[in-house]
Amino acid sequence: MASNLRKAAIVIMSLPPDDAAQIMGKFDSKEIESLSIEIAKLGRYTSQDQEDAILAFADANPQALGGSMGGLDVAQALLERALGDKASGTVASIRHSLESLPFAFLKQVDPQNLLTFINDEHPQTIALILSHLAPAYGAQVIAGLSTERQIAVISRIASMGQTSPEILEQVESGLEKRMEAVVSQSFATAGGIPSVAQILNVCDRTTEKTLLENLSQEDPELVEEIRRLMFVFEDINKLRDKDIQAILKNVETAQWAMALKGVSPELKEKILGNMSQRAAAMLTEEIEYLGSVRLSEVEAVQTQIVDIVRRLEETGEITVGGGADGGGESFIT
């Protein structure tokens, strides 16, 4: 379970920089330094980490949620806004603290790259490394290990006590030397399902349909992921009114109430504008009645509605987009 200090750091990271700096400016210097060190130590953290932290302190703010990163640069920027010219001393102190942490150089290394270098190491060595890294980072490395090695590493982390500084320094030095080329490089992410979705979005409809049908014979789950990325929930705002009305007939009011939590005002108005006054009033009332909800619940219902949209498109009941050959209608902006 994340510590309160870590949760506070994630909450601060979720705020606009000026708001975060204003809040940090109300703390005393020791509190600011502790919080800034935690922000700088964060590394990668997931949207679930962010959601849990925010719900622990206040009502969820869906507009702010999403995977992100902390880091020394982020901590420094917040300090400069909060303390102005007085920030330099605190930043120097934080930098010194971070540089003295074991395996600090790994904070700029992608977990998958680290996994490549330690996958064949003894479980005790892997456990030693992961025990000094952020939990979210370590979880991504653990996920890449075989089940047998996962158990071996986790059990060793659980039973690990104090480690000799000499051994710790030896492991860190050896790993840093082996990963020197990786640490000194920056890597760009390419490919992946989002890239496929973007390519198919601009293909003509015939090509898109043929490719997805052939791919579905080999990997139907992959095709579903691609389809969901090709049409996301907010894209409903680009549909014609008659298509939205067709979707409304296939989606329950309770689903809309959950799905519209935190969406753009334009999309909410688009949906309500295609309902009768009575139905729109009932939906508005149900949205307000829900109060605060978890982002994961909202996204799950939005995915259900996207699946309904794709099904209606496949049966020809609605048109959600057109390809390069003009075979369908383009999104209305």
What pLDDT, on a 0 to 100 scale, did the predictor assign at position 58?
47
pLDDT tens, position by position, 138-158:
888 888 888 888 888 888 888
Cβ–Cβ < 8 Å for 204, 321? no
| Residue 180, pLDDT score | 72
Report the CATH architecture of 232-333: Orthogonal Bundle (1.10)
Cβ atoms 132, 102 nearer than 8 A: yes
105-183 and 190-230 share one fold: no
**Can you give the pLDDT at residue 60?**
37
Residue by residue, DSSP assigns 282-293 as HHHHHHHHH-S-
- What is the b/e burial string over 272-281, where b = at least 16 CB atoms within 10 angstroms of the residue's CB? bebbeeeeee
Which pLDDT score, from 0 to 100, does residue 95 have? 53
Residues linked to residue 68 through DSSP beta bridges, in sequence order: 45
Residue the block writes with tokens 């790993």: 175
pLDDT at 181: 61
Residue whose pair of structure tokens reads 């190491």 in the numeric block: 121
Which architecture does CATH list for 105-183? Orthogonal Bundle (1.10)
Q: Sketch the domain layout of the chain as residue ranges.
A: 4-101, 105-183, 190-230, 232-333
Q: What is the mean pLDDT of each run of 10 residues along the chain (333 residues)?
A: 71 72 73 74 67 56 44 58 59 53 70 82 87 80 87 84 76 79 51 72 70 82 80 87 94 93 90 94 91 87 88 85 40 29
Interatomic CA distance for residues 162 and 197, integer angstroms: 49
Q: How far apart are CA 320 and CA 208, in angstroms?
A: 13
CATH (residue range 190-230): 1.20.5.2020
Provide the pLDDT for residue 10: 79
